[in-house]
Amino acid sequence: MKILHTADWHLGHRLQDFSQTEEQQLFLQWLKQYIVEHKIDVLLIAGDVFDTGAPSNQSLQMYYDFLVNLKQTSCQSVIITGGNHDSPGTLNAPKQLLDALSIKVVGKATEQIENEVFEININNEKLIVAAVPYLRDQDIRRAVAGESFDELTERYKTALVYHYNKVAAYCNQINTSMAPVIAMGHLFAVGGQLSDSEQNIYVGNLGHIGADDFPDSFDYIALGHLHRPQSVGGHEHIRYSGSPYILSFSEIHYPKQLLEISIEDNSIQSIKNIDIPRFREMYSLTGTKQDCLDRFPDIVSNSYGLTPWVEIVLDENNSINTDDLRAEAEVNGFEILKITLKNFDRRLTGIEEQLKQSQSIKELKPDEVFKLKCEEQNINLDERPEILDAFSEILQQVKGQ
């Protein structure tokens, strides 16, 4: 049996307000072709299928078209779990229809733990999958009136670990043939490396668990949430697949991957990293204005033909004119998405002045605006990290995540 582990598709994502639909469509086409060529039997998608809780019709169509087209392939089973960006209602709505296509969806934590566990039998091999979605605080923990932030943190982590232990115990109960057990999850595991595109579940330690907190009975743990492919805490069986295409310029220096797990004779025989093609070339240039202009001829597309995207960090003062950079980029056939000034001293300016200096308000993320406002109010977030945690939690709720 061959299994693919992927996550964090973020269908509908925009980079600096530029649509990434083209690379999203190319990825889904490539993924289907990979499944066909390598005779993949099972596909696991560990959360953040969509970038927002209210995906566009275009994003929904890409998602459903891909799932329907899998019926033409060797893939006999698909299991999808919800992430913090997904709306549980959106994912769960077509649950019964998708079930007829052997596609199982778990948009949120269920009242009956057995509804998160699936037994798969293919090619005389058996597999048990514990499909744990992103665990929202309100789904797994009862609020306690008057509890402190530290108490909330500890109780949430305890509830998180308890949920995984509970699902592991059920897997052990039904696993009479000693089949491999794969768990899915969407969370931040301590030791994982972040990129700029992640909005952490919580900024501080709330909900962060370590590799040793997962039950030993899981033979492989397929994680989503972090966009860099990586193992956790040196454990090769606890893996983030990462996002399949670049979601921020901080991600251009490492490969995009998914993971292929092979099962034979009732055990996991191999775990392989599979590199995903770079569908759009992206560049980050740093230096003086002339340094960057000199490198423009080196910016080229690839076989997929999408317009290259470029970020420029200028080692200049605040008064430089960048209009000719954009004009020269147009001549060379690429798009500059973002220009920032390396020597721009944020300490000397308030939030209103920084917004005037920015190319676009979209260059400042919500958490950056909040941090700047705290600086103006003389609030030291290093000394009071719980304030940043609370803001992050509110931001997630406002976004419907």
In tens, the pLDDT along 54-89 reads 999 999 999 999 999 999 999 999 999 999 999 999
Predicted local confidence at residue 270, as pLDDT? 96
Q: What is the mean pLDDT of residues 381-394?
A: 69
CA 54 to chain centre: 17
Least confident piece of the model among 136-145, 177-186, 260-269, 276-285: 136-145
Helices (H), 76-131: 88-92, 95-99
Q: Taking a C-beta distance cutoff of 8 angstroms, is the pair 73, 101 a contact?
A: no
Beta strands 220-224 and 235-240, pairing class: parallel
What's the pLDDT band for 152 if we cut at 50, 70, 90? low
Q: How far is the C-alpha of 45 from the C-alpha of 24, rounded, in Å?
A: 15
Single-letter amino acid code for the residue at 300: V
Predicted local confidence at residue 153, as pLDDT? 66
Domain boundaries along the sequence of the chain: 2-276, 282-398
Beta-bridged to residue 286, according to DSSP, are 313
**CATH superfamily label, 2-276:** Metallo-dependent phosphatases (3.60.21.10)
Predicted local confidence at residue 147, as pLDDT? 56
